[in-house]
Structure 1
Amino acid sequence: MLDKNLKGTHHKLLYYRYRPTGVEESKVRYVGDTEQAYIKKELEKIYIPEEEIKRFTLDKHGQPIPYVDGHMTIISNYIWDYWGHFFSAEGVALYGHLKRYCYGDKDYCWPDLNLISQKMNKSRNTVKKILANLEKYGFVLVFNVQNADKNNMEESPLYKIRKKVPFLPMELYEQLPSELKIDHDRYMQGIVEQFDQILNLDPSIDYSEVYEDVISKGTVVRKTKTPFELDKELRNKIKVLDKEITELDRTVWDMALAIIKKKVSAPSFNTWFKGTFCIKREQTFTIYTPSNFVSEWLESRYDKMIREALTQVGSQFDHIKYDYLSYQREIESGT
């Protein structure tokens, strides 16, 4: 019989995280009878071995505060008094709800998020946003779970919880309001006097790097897109761009093309610049072409000429990007 999993059952559970691939997908939705085009960031699913999740701990990052008699309620008063400024009251409450399930030496739990949402009188989406904030500060890390013995059926997520409360890093301490900062100084002085030691606040920790280290031990599994899905995505992308492009974008690019046309041969111009257009977003021009090959060619061979032409027509910009209107790279499937 299989050993028990982290949830205490004998099923083979699969633990995974989502990570943005950097690819944006064009989608269309309907609000009433109105069609709306929008951009959705593509996510990839990364499965992390259970042994890696067992080994992973949030508690080794940051300096844990010592136990101080009278400074403990359900959770450390340090969270209520200082971390709560960054968590918000909802974040402190959610942390408390999750931590209550981590009894004994256990630093993980799998409570019903819908039930917690009801206890907090918050929508599930709101609770997920609060969770993301707790992840940002290194107090919770969420692992999605599938049951491999039940046709990869989705189960409730597994939550890794920080149990040892760290001092604020110096960067966050500096962001405290003046009254809270004074109160924190008084608290730290009390710790120093009681424990006869010198305490220095640690520098900030980038928890995205901490989590990336866990993810790096997993296996990437990506969905294979069908030709129909790729074609639909392309059509949606064109709809989005058609609504976004302005008359000024069209005018600027037409003027730039007129300058470029005088500097290259007619065959070269027709080959590499036909069907192109540009959209300016803040201080970045994105040049759109019919294919990835054309985009790469323009960037490698004509980038300087394009920059000079856009500058000559009076456009101010900091960056130029190249994109294309053909099937985005097909996503390979993983195991």
Structure 2
Amino acid sequence: MFDEFDSSSSLLPDSHLYRFYRLVPSGEKETRIRNGKPVEVSLNQKEYYSEKDVAEFDLEEYSKLLPDMNGNVTIINNYFIRFWGPALHKKMGGIIAYTFIILRSYCWDKDYTWISLSTLEEQLTVTRPTLKQYLDVLEKEGFIIRFWREAKDSKKTEQNTILIKVRRAIPYLTKEKLDKLSDNIKREHQKFLRKVQKESHLEFEQAYNYTTILENFRKKSIEVFKPEAKSSNSPEQSEKLYEQILQEFDYEKLINWRMILQRIKGRFQESTFETYFKHTLGEEKNGNWIVYCRSKFERDRIDQKYRDVIKEAIEDLAFPFENLKITLYKSR
């Protein structure tokens, strides 16, 4: 470790008021509507940690640090931008590498920084989703780790300012990563290392095992909050369920519902109809109509915005109508 490195276990003057957590993929997915179409989105779970464990977590725990790093910042930054950049991402690697250097500049004599995402957006002139992509890559490769905080007496999350722990040593590219680079960059890499080793006697660490470090850290979590997926059915499962119900549906009811759908279709752009109504099924008993949807998102949108459209289509065709219920396939 660096002699002057600040290893204080207090992350904030009022740290005792907060709980610290990471957002980690839960393995659960739900369907959401984007650009008018349903897409599957992975859900994150909250893993809570003590302030002491967060403060003491070290990205270099099992790594040899670069000697005299503080005196060779330019050399190290050059190596990271020129060679780690292309290895991080084929198209965005350079700006992702620059993002890391920006983060490290905020750390000063610490291995972490509290930083506003809005500040980073301005520094990098990017949108929040793009910034998230950059940070995701850096975390996946073990160069940063992010922590969020929330007040202990509330579940309200302070999303804008987060704690980012930043790696201080730059590892040498692994053989696997080097092999993915172009021949030209490989030659530049060999030339660069020969020059650095000759002039500065720096030795770049040749291996790093961030995955092991992270998994060991996750064992220290004191609580895990798992999200509840709003839709447990994958598109494939929903499609199979739709086909199954279709086979079981009474022929006359199916014909009637398709007549209603034809009326509804004339009210919307094709994309809207395809998104919300194409996979619906409806049936009637004594004027009581039930419309079945494949996802909660489709059900909720139809229930909130399009009930009158369905009712008008039913009445235009002179079918009996008393009331209307919008539900899911699995409710049938």
Q: TM-score, normalised by structure 1?
A: 0.59
How far apart in 2 are the matches of 1:110 and 1:69?
A: 21
The residue aligned with 2:283 is: none
The residue aligned with 1:95 is: 100
Contact 2:45 2:227 in 1 (8 A): no
| Worse overlay, 134-143 or 84-93 | 84-93
- How big is the shift at 1:84? 1.6
How far apart in 2 are the matches of 1:224 and 1:63?
A: 38
How far apart in 2 are the matches of 1:145 and 1:246?
A: 42
- Quick one: which amino acid aligns to residue 143 of structure 1? F
Relative to structure 1, the CA distance from residue 95 to residue 56 in structure 2 (aligned partners, 3 Å threshold; closer, same or farther) is same
Moved beyond 6 Å, runs of 4+: 244-247
In structure 2, stretches of 5+ residues that fail to align are: 1-7, 248-328
How far apart in 2 are the matches of 1:82 and 1:22?
A: 33
The residue aligned with 2:55 is: 54
The residue aligned with 1:157 is: 162
The residue aligned with 1:131 is: 135
- How big is the shift at 1:188? 2.3
Relative to structure 1, the CA distance from residue 7 to residue 222 in structure 2 (aligned partners, 3 Å threshold; closer, same or farther) is same
169, 177, 186: which is aligned to 2:174?
169
Is residue 2:179 matched to residue 1:182? no
How far apart in 2 are the matches of 1:10 and 1:56?
A: 16
Number of residues paired by the alignment?
Answer: 235
The residue aligned with 2:231 is: 233
- Quick one: which amino acid aligns to residue 24 of structure 1? K
Contact 1:170 1:203 in 2 (8 A): no
Relative to structure 1, the CA distance from residue 119 to residue 244 in structure 2 (aligned partners, 3 Å threshold; closer, same or farther) is farther
Relative to structure 1, the CA distance from residue 4 to residue 12 in structure 2 (aligned partners, 3 Å threshold; closer, same or farther) is farther
Q: Secondary structure at the match of 1:47?
A: strand
- Superposed CA deviations along residues 100-137 of structure 1, whole A, max 9, x for unmatched, are 11112x10011111121122111011001000111122
The residue aligned with 1:6 is: 11
Relative to structure 1, the CA distance from residue 184 to residue 162 in structure 2 (aligned partners, 3 Å threshold; closer, same or farther) is same
How far apart in 1 are the matches of 2:69 and 2:28?
A: 49
- How big is the shift at 1:63? 4.2
- Superposed CA deviations along residues 216-252 of structure 1, whole A, max 9, x for unmatched, are 1002333586xxxx8x636xx38763447898xx99x
Contact 1:63 1:167 in 2 (8 A): no
In structure 1, stretches of 5+ residues that fail to align are: 252-324, 328-335
Relative to structure 1, the CA distance from residue 142 to residue 244 in structure 2 (aligned partners, 3 Å threshold; closer, same or farther) is farther
Relative to structure 1, the CA distance from residue 189 to residue 123 in structure 2 (aligned partners, 3 Å threshold; closer, same or farther) is same
- Quick one: which amino acid aligns to residue 51 of structure 1? K
- How big is the shift at 1:194? 4.5
The residue aligned with 2:114 is: 110
How far apart in 1 are the matches of 2:193 and 2:220?
A: 38
How far apart in 2 are the matches of 1:185 and 1:69?
A: 23
How far apart in 2 are the matches of 1:201 and 1:75?
A: 12
Relative to structure 1, the CA distance from residue 61 to residue 181 in structure 2 (aligned partners, 3 Å threshold; closer, same or farther) is farther
- Quick one: which amino acid aligns to residue 241 of structure 1? Q
Contact 1:59 1:162 in 2 (8 A): yes
Relative to structure 1, the CA distance from residue 67 to residue 113 in structure 2 (aligned partners, 3 Å threshold; closer, same or farther) is same
- Superposed CA deviations along residues 292-315 of structure 1, whole A, max 9, x for unmatched, are xxxxxxxxxxxxxxxxxxxxxxxx
Q: Secondary structure at the match of 1:91?
A: helix
Q: How does 1:168-317 map to 2 (within 5 A)?
A: 168-194=173-199, 202-203=206-207, 205=209, 207-222=210-225, 233=231, 237=233, 241-243=237-239
Contact 1:47 1:219 in 2 (8 A): yes
Relative to structure 1, the CA distance from residue 54 to residue 242 in structure 2 (aligned partners, 3 Å threshold; closer, same or farther) is closer
Contact 2:149 2:162 in 1 (8 A): yes
Q: Secondary structure at the match of 2:107?
A: coil
Q: TM-score, normalised by structure 2?
A: 0.59
| Worse overlay, 151-160 or 71-80 | 71-80
Is residue 2:83 matched to residue 1:79? no
Contact 1:74 1:96 in 2 (8 A): no
Determine what percentage of the aligned residue pairs are the same residue: 24
Relative to structure 1, the CA distance from residue 85 to residue 61 in structure 2 (aligned partners, 3 Å threshold; closer, same or farther) is farther
- How big is the shift at 1:139? 0.9
